[in-house]
Chain A
Amino acid sequence: MGTLELKQSLTGHRGRVWSVCWHPKGANLASCGEDKTIIIWGLEGFKWVTKMILTEGHSRTIRELAWSPCGNYIASASFDATTAVWDKKSGQFECNTTLEGHENEVKSVSWSISGQLLATCSRDKSVWVWEVNDDEYECAAVINAHTQDVKKVRWHPHDEILASASYDNTVKIFKEDAADSDWSCIATLSSHTSTVWSLSWDKIGNRIATCSDDKTVKIWREYKPENDVGVVTPNNESVWKCICTLSGYHTRTIYDIDWCKTTGLLVTACGDDIIRIFKEDSDCDPHQPNFTMVCSIDNAHAQDVNCVQWNPAIPGQLASASDDGSVKIWFYNE
């Protein structure tokens, strides 16, 4: 068993904190919540302090935020039906672009690895793909593949492939068709029996971990056409199969999951106030992997844990956000 050590508890938000996101270099952390503000945290000596507070970008709850891969922009998704893009051209982060179009609450936002594409999703059941050109944002696609509220969008770690998770219990994968530059759904991952709250790609991008209101985590694997294990791939498109289900560990809704790109560890945020860490067994069949829970912190927060994210640059460092109004910085030791 490993241990998860609390490094610091950060207070500053009023009310529920919905989301945290690390700067790609790992030295800063941004958080947002129902108080409609974004706080940027940074280290001063050994202490995390408030570096900046961004206000007046949104008129309602900020549900999620995402740093661009270059670290110069922050996109924030809000219940006010808009997505704001903040840049620091003036030296300070300022909101200079507001993306409108969704009919109601925007739930999630994600940048592609190139920084050229931005995806948003909403309660209005749609997923939008925006093209970024010199600070101009143009809607490249409105995808209406889900039948319910879309909770999460996440780009593939290397390619322009998008995954989304929904209240309709499915995850869908989208790709642009080179022939007519239309975005279409190339796979539907069905197995969860309730809302899929979040998803995370692995380092390579051929597996996805999903978490759900059904209290399970599932691991999915891509089988490309002509794969050597004989998985049939109709229409010459990849097929995604659920190769592992982690059940019996979580006692309430699992709101978030993050798959560390450096250590391969999975971390989950649960409505039972617990943060859990899972590790893949080293000698298992890649088509039937086994994951072992290596850490579980009771009362990690005083209320629901909404978001967890591994630091992309410092292996083992973790940030979490909770309904209790706090953001916490942790370190995982094996």
Chain B
Amino acid sequence: MSENLENINPKLYKKLDDREITLEEQNDDIADEFDAREIFDIIRNINDPEHPLTLEELNVVEQNLIEVDDKRNRVDVKFTPTIPHCSMATLIGLSIRVQLLRALPARFKVSVEISPGTHVSEAAVNKQLADKERVAAALENSMLLGVINQCLAPKN
């Protein structure tokens, strides 16, 4: 399989430490808003479609590229493909989208885009990911859904 990989030796990045849970967060009486760290925790362990590594380890997702406005129901995630002509960019974006779709309350409007300037067909991939009709049709494709579920399945 390795000779088919586009990016044979991806650069590895250090993982973030676990989040510290504050007393306030453990108190169910206090409503706490979603923040970038929480969104990051939801998507950091998504598996890369070709490497046995997570999107965090490949630096595809980073906490500082996530913007959250809980009051206005907005979550904006930017992701960085490992190489500028990565053919997996749409699939990775779709996996992030599906993970957030499943994890977040339905009130959130989620946008998933490529970090500006990091992919050759950035505009086309972004347009595809933003088209909810095409995303819905893609998710009815059982083959594709299988691949996405594999990316989303936790390891072990």
A binds B: yes
- Nearest-neighbor residue (CB-CB) of A149 within chain B: B134
Which residues on B sit within 8 Å (CB–CB) of A107? 133
- Taking the closest CB of chain A, its distance from the CB of B129, in whole angstroms, is 12
- Taking the closest CB of chain A, its distance from the CB of B101, in whole angstroms, is 11
Bound form: Cα–Cα A57–B94 in Å = 29
Residue in B106, B109, B130, B140 whose CB lies within 8 Å of A79: B140
Which residues on B sit within 8 Å (CB–CB) of A167? 127, 131
- Taking the closest CB of chain B, its distance from the CB of A164, in whole angstroms, is 15
Residues of A in contact (CB 8 Å), total 25
B132 lies within 8 A of chain A by Cβ: yes
> In the complex, which residues 110-155 of chain B have their Cβ closer than 8 Å to any Cβ of chain A?
127, 130-134, 136-137, 140
Residue in B109, B127, B137, B140 whose CB lies within 8 Å of A195: B127
Pairs A–B under 8 Å by Cβ, sample size 18:
A60-B140, A61-B136, A61-B137, A61-B140, A79-B136, A79-B137, A104-B137, A149-B134, A167-B127, A167-B131, A213-B131, A252-B109, A271-B109, A302-B107, A303-B106, A303-B107, A323-B106, A324-B106
Pair B133/A63 contact, Cβ less than 8 Å: yes
Bound form: Cα–Cα A123–B136 in Å = 13
A87 lies within 8 A of chain B by Cβ: no
- Taking the closest CB of chain B, its distance from the CB of A71, in whole angstroms, is 28
Pair A195/B131 contact, Cβ less than 8 Å: yes
Pair A123/B107 contact, Cβ less than 8 Å: no
Which residues on B sit within 8 Å (CB–CB) of A195? 127, 131
Which residues on A sit within 8 Å (CB–CB) of B130? 213, 253
- Taking the closest CB of chain A, its distance from the CB of B67, in whole angstroms, is 16
